[in-house]
Amino acid sequence: MVTNEESRKRNSKAHEVGGHIGRLHLLDGTGSPYELRIDPEGRWFHGGVEIVRRNIMQLFSRGLRRGKDGKYYVNLGRDEAPVVVEDAPFVVLRVEEQSSDRLRLLLSDGAKEILQPQTLAFKDNNIPYCLVRKNLEAKFSRQAYYQLAKYIERDEASGSYYIHIGRLRRKLNISGRK
């Protein structure tokens, strides 16, 4: 005898993905009636509702990738869902000195990354961005920008700006002046 629950599961277009963190219910082949979105502050939304469970947001963040088409996707196992990113998918919340020549970044999803100075760029209104996790952009929060500013110096002779961390000194690309 088939129970109502078994019948409902069998006829459902939904399936579960996940593991030790929990389960997510995704719809199969229905044109994605929900939207995953990351706002300019690095907050995740599903169908217009903020995802407040940190473990779910971290699961999505770990599965985030950028496709060859330049668009963002979350991969969970064999499943992939598009993500609308309004600015950058990550926000740098804090900058800390890791060692004499390395800075550690605390990202909006709780992850820690080492700043790769060659990826540091300044965009509109001189807001700094960098790449994390190979090719994903992170925008610096105001607090993180001030923490980063301690390592930026101006060469008076050339008028250029440099990041100076220990023995490392690299010229910065500051093109976004408004």
Over its length of 178 residues, how does the chain's per-residue pLDDT go in tens digits?
545 445 444 444 444 444 443 444 444 443 345 689 999 999 999 888 899 999 999 999 999 999 999 999 999 888 889 999 999 999 999 999 888 789 999 999 999 999 999 999 998 888 999 999 988 999 999 999 999 999 999 999 998 999 999 888 899 877 654 4
2 by Cβ neighbours in 10 Å (0-12 / 13-18 / 19+) ranks as exposed
In the prediction, which pLDDT does 16 show? 44
In the prediction, which pLDDT does 3 show? 53
Q: Which domains does the chain have, with CATH numbers?
A: 4-85 (3.10.540), 90-174 (2.30.270.10)
Phi first, then psi: give them for residue 78, nearest 5 degrees: -90, -5
pTM: 0.77
What's the DSSP call for residue 124? G
- Tokens in use for 33? 């009636």
- Distant-in-sequence, close-in-space partners of 46: CB < 8 Å, separation ≥ 6: 34, 35, 36, 37
Three-state DSSP class for residue 110: coil
In the prediction, which pLDDT does 128 show? 95
